[in-house]
Amino acid sequence: MNDQNSIVEFRGVSKVYPNGKKALEDFNLTVHPGEFICFIGTSGGGKTTALRMINRMLESSSGQVLVEGKNIMDQDPIDLRRHIGYVIQNIGLIPHMTIEENICLVPKLLKWPAEKRAARARELIKMVEMPEEFLQRYPHEISGGQQQRIGVIRALAANQKIMLMDEPFGALDPVTRQKLQELVHYLQKDLKKTIIMVTHDMDEAISLATRIVIFDNGHIIQSAPPQEILQHPANDFVRDLIGEERLNEAQVTLATAQSVMLTRPISTTAEISLEKALAKMNHHHIDSLIVVDGDQHLIGELDIAQVIAHRNKLDLRVADIMGPAPQTVFDTDLLSSVYQIIIKRRLKYMPVVNHDRQIVGIITRSSLAKVLYDYVWGQEELEHERSDRHD
């Protein structure tokens, strides 16, 4: 009987190639709506085969693959693919089409009206923080990282519920790679898409996935949330794949943003005067304020430098000069991913939001440093104790 809550389901699936190689054997997996699944394992373990079966780029030798409860073998493969987003490492943008035409390729095939397609393209390019004028450029006129961003939003253009990603960031430089990982993470959280991604990068899987599926020789070795895999690796194969360093760091990486955030961030509304905002900064001995609306949604940031630049116009409102909203993290995000953003980007702080995008706290560099210091200090104390016992 099918799982009524599944969006993708593998039921006893096997894949045997003509040369006799078994890529998958009696493979069973249920993916629920809104999950971010990362397939990871050794090369040839079956993860890419499983991914490509979902949109019938490969077909099973036996068993069934179901999407939204329907056997994909009963569906037209072209129609199936148009309703499933697909992002690959080499992007696959069509060079003689504009960026807008590339984004809207599937909506056009689905016969969306031109006006609706254009509006969707504008909406999506704004989502990835690229200017609208880029829509009329061609792929060779934008950078590789920008092309990859277009590849990601193209997979969302027809509002597909499912996105398949086949090592989408593998060929990118570290900075661009991290930015795109953050983009995909927040798109999935905000839009509640179901994402299934193949990766060779365990740190990427731990940072992004709600569930990691570990493959070896066509079988699932372990399928669990990152926290569970880090705390309870199924066997030595999983332990080796994770690595001793990550296992040793699990104490700090398993903490969430909520566990270290300051719960009363100093904020202001957009309607108060600069004079009052400056007084609030002075009272709390801070050099910036986050700006929120009446429902505690983050809408901007006011920095002391902006106030000083308008010191002769303190009757202006915060809304008149505030900057864009700073990057946020979710309260459920792992501290490991928060650390990557704050430390590597040298940010002073990051607001923390819940899944309704309301401000619930703030993480500062100093509060994060204290957690890391306590962890390192605790590890040193543990080593001293072990050493004393052996003396």
For residue 80, which of 54, 48, 51, 50 has the smallest C-alpha distance?
54
pLDDT digits (tens, 9 = 90+) for 265-277: 889 999 999 888 8
Spatial strand order in the sheet of 36-41? 84-88, 162-166, 194-198, 36-41, 211-216, 219-224
177 has a pLDDT exceeding 90: no
Best-predicted range by mean pLDDT (49-53, 205-209, 296-300, 363-367): 49-53
* DSSP assignment letter at 370: H
- In terms of phi and psi (left: phi > 0; alpha: psi -120 to 50; beta: otherwise), the region of 383 is alpha
Q: What is the pLDDT of residue 20?
A: 84
Burial class (CB in 10 A: 0-12, 13-18, 19+), 184: buried
Site of tokens 């699944």? 37
Residues of the chain with CATH 3.40.50.300: 8-249
Beta carbons of 38 and 224 less than 8 angstroms apart: no
Per cent of the chain over pLDDT 90 is 36
Q: What is the spatial distance between Cα 363 and Cα 351, in angstroms, rounded to a whole number?
A: 6
Of 5-9, 155-159, 301-305, 384-388, the poorest mean pLDDT is in: 384-388
Distances in whole angstroms, Cα of residue 377 to Cα of each of 255, 370, 381, 382: 17, 10, 6, 9
Q: What is the rounded distance in angstroms from the CA atom of residue 100 to the CA atom of residue 116? A: 12
Superfamily holding 258-369:
CBS-domain (3.10.580.10)
Q: Give 374-389 pLDDT, tens digit per residue.
A: 655 554 444 454 455 4
Decide which of 264 and 320 is more confident. 320
pTM of the model: 0.69
CATH topology (fold) of 8-249: Rossmann fold (3.40.50)
Q: Could you tell me whether strands 194-198 and 162-166 are parallel, antiparallel, or unpaired per DSSP bridges?
A: parallel
| Sequence ranges of the chain with CATH classification 3.10.580.10 | 258-369
Structure tokens at 114: 């031109």
Sign, CA torsion 8/89/26/237 = negative
Task: Return the pLDDT at 219.
Answer: 93
Q: Please, which residues have CB within 8 angstroms of residue 327's CB and are 6 or more apart in sequence?
A: 182, 341, 347, 350
CA separation (Å) from 71 to 24, 219, 225, 311, 352? 18, 21, 27, 66, 41
Amino acid residing at 318:
V
Query: What does the alpha-carbon distance between residue 353 and residue 368 come to, in Å, rounded to a whole number?
Result: 17
Predicted pLDDT of residue 114: 92
Mind listing the pLDDT tens digit for each residue in 87-105? Answer: 876 667 888 999 999 999 8
Rg value, the chain, Cα: 24
Q: Cα separations (Å) of 341 from 13, 101, 207, 267, 349?
A: 39, 33, 11, 22, 10
Distances (CA, A) of 161 to 9, 84, 93, 227: 15, 7, 21, 26
